A and B are shown apart, each in its own frame.
Chain A
Amino acid sequence: MAIILQLLFTGLGIGAVYALVALGFVLIYRATNVVNFAQGQFAMLGGYCMVITTVDLGLPYWLGIIISLVVMALFGAIFNLGVYYPLRHRSFLPVVISTIGASILITNLVLAIYGPEPTTLPGMTDYPGISFGAVFLDAQYLVIIATTLALVLLQYVFFEHTMIGKKMQAVSQDKEMASLLGINVTGMIMLTFTYSAVLGGIAGILVAPILFVSVGLGAQIALKAFAASIIGGFGDVPGAIVGGLLIGVAETLGAFYISVPYKDAFAFVLLFAFLLIRPQGIFGEKIAQKA
């Protein structure tokens, strides 16, 4: 029993990171109807920002976080201007290819600057964690779960209870109508990219102390986050969160009970199972009606 609880805790922690990146996928998809394949690279950049500020420059951790988030926000804005905005009137495919191109560019820039060696980031706190009998709650995992929970709540309040959140929803549902009402569509999309980049950056900052920070970090997280958003029902916000947590738990349980080397495969086994049995995802039906 203790082992299962321990694994669930670990799974939810790593799943929360997938959920944050999946949330970025979903937000940009809903605002622009395009899948941003560089979303994982946002997480990688967040991790590297932390390494550069706190390890290389020796700045305090909190300052590193603030600088990293500002850098990610700026990066999101630049990404929008360079990758999405020039192609905004084009169809799905050119924009998707543009985001794939951007993701390759980002990966290789980091490779050129920082080299292929993985590096490490210390945890947010020296405090090791809490023990409940045989279950040990690691501090970094607690931070991840608490941060994700807070972000999800904050985002819910923002989208459901502020006028600007409603305007962003309006833009994601019908851009032409939104502009007819005087809503600044370009500005709202800019905001979406900025926020998604920050979200990805936070995921990277959170996960960096657990995984190695390397150029491969982005792809590793993005693939699972993408699977998570499909399992949840693509385009659905609660779906992305549930999907992310589900994958985190599945791969942790799978690694423990079945096979460690195949740890990364369980996410995709789960994805295939969903595609076969429930291709619309957990919350998929709601979207079909919305559309």
Chain B
Amino acid sequence: MPLLELSGLTAAYGAVAALSGLDLAVAEGEIVTLLGANGAGKSTTLRCISGLLSPTGGEIRFAGQVISGLHAERVVRLGIAHVPEGRRVFPGLTVRENILLGASNRRSARAALARDAEEMFALFPDLERFADTLGWMLSGGQQQMVALARGLMARPRLLLLDEPSLGLAPLIVQQVFRIIARIRESGTTVLLVEQNARIALAIADRGYVLETGRLVVAGKPDALWNNEDVRAAYLGGKRLSEESRTR
């Protein structure tokens, strides 16, 4: 039985359909990546899973339990942590406070939480000296580290990551993805939404390509990467040509 299973998921923003019948499964311990152009429905999928958006149809099962339509506060208690696009670090709270709040879904003693926070500083050593710095003062890369650490503080079985590479320098992106690979090694399942297909496929076990709310193709990273149509249409072929034009 997969850890996460979406069947026939549909979602809409007002009258605009965002997902039209998506089927997807993630097995325990996998990194699965969702690829596709802007507006393909990748973030919408994550928002449905974490309870920020109520699906209009279909079903989401987590560990055998139907969770579609549950409120976000309930979903995170079941063991799904969502690190949304844009990092969303609380600007007026310190790094340590941001990280500690990540455990709001757990009923743990203060001492245990403080210990877990120290563990996060071990995993993200760059953050330690910013522990008492306010969120808004951090760089994009530092904020991404805080967002990841905050997500991990929930002790999730499934971590939903939305565009962790967005707006980061290439070296920082590599650092972030090394940490994501480490997170999986420690036993956490990861569902990763990414614009940067190359780096996402490099660490993923499987990938799904979406287009306007529909699944186009799914498979192993190599197969997806070598599929010429997929590459050209969905995996940044267009973006590469745009980039070369701006240069």
Contacts and interface: CB of A to CB of B under 8 A. Distances in A.
A1 B133 CA distance: 45
B139 to A, nearest CB: 15
Interface string A103-116: 00000000000000
B101 A180 contact: no
Contacts of A184: 73
Interface in B23-76: 50, 52, 71-73, 76
B225 interface: no
A174 B88 contact: yes
A174 B143 CA distance: 15
Contact of A181 (B52, B71, B91, B102): B102
B164 interface: no
Given A166-B100, A167-B101, A170-B101, A180 B90 contact: no
Nearest to B80: A180
Nearest to A181: B104
B93 A180 contact: no
Interface residues of B, number: 26
B90 A185 contact: no
Contacts of B93: 166, 169-170, 173
A291 interface: yes
B82 interface: yes
Contacts of B90: 169-170, 173-174, 177
Contacts of A166: 93, 97, 100-101
A8 interface: no
B154 A181 contact: yes
B104 A167 contact: yes
A179 interface: yes
A263 to B, nearest CB: 37
Interface string B97-130: 1001110111000100000000000000000000
A183 interface: yes
Contacts of A167: 101, 104
Contacts of B150: 181
Given A163-B110, A173-B92, A180 B97 contact: no
B154 A182 contact: yes
A243 B97 CA distance: 29
A290 interface: yes
Given A163-B100, A169-B90, A182 B136 contact: no
Contacts of B81: 180
B105 A182 contact: yes
A182 B77 contact: yes
B236 interface: no
Interface in A4-49: none
Q: Which of A174, A178, A179, A182 has the most CB of B within 10 A?
A: A182
Nearest to B72: A179
Given A167-B101, A176-B52, A290-B136, A183 B73 contact: yes
Contact of A180 (B82, B106, B136): B82
B221 interface: no
Given A181-B105, A289-B136, A173 B73 contact: no
Contacts of A169: 90, 92-93
Nearest to A179: B72
Q: Which of A170, A180, A181 has the most CB of B within 10 A?
A: A180
A182 B91 CA distance: 18
A174 B52 CA distance: 13
A180 B110 contact: no
Contact of B84 (A180, A182, A185): A180
A183 B104 CA distance: 6
B92 A181 contact: no
B154 A290 contact: no
Interface in A150-170: 163, 166-167, 169-170
Contact of A182 (B73, B92, B97): B73
Nearest to A183: B104
B104 A177 contact: no
- 8 smallest CB-CB distances across A and B, nearest first, come from A182-B105, A182-B76, A177-B88, A179-B72, A182-B104, A181-B104, A183-B104, A173-B90
Interface of B: 50, 52, 71-73, 76-77, 81-82, 84, 88, 90-93, 97, 100-102, 104-106, 110, 136, 150, 154
18 contacts: A170-B93, A173-B90, A173-B93, A177-B84, A177-B88, A179-B73, A180-B50, A180-B81, A180-B84, A181-B76, A181-B101, A181-B102, A181-B150, A182-B76, A182-B106, A289-B136, A290-B91, A291-B91
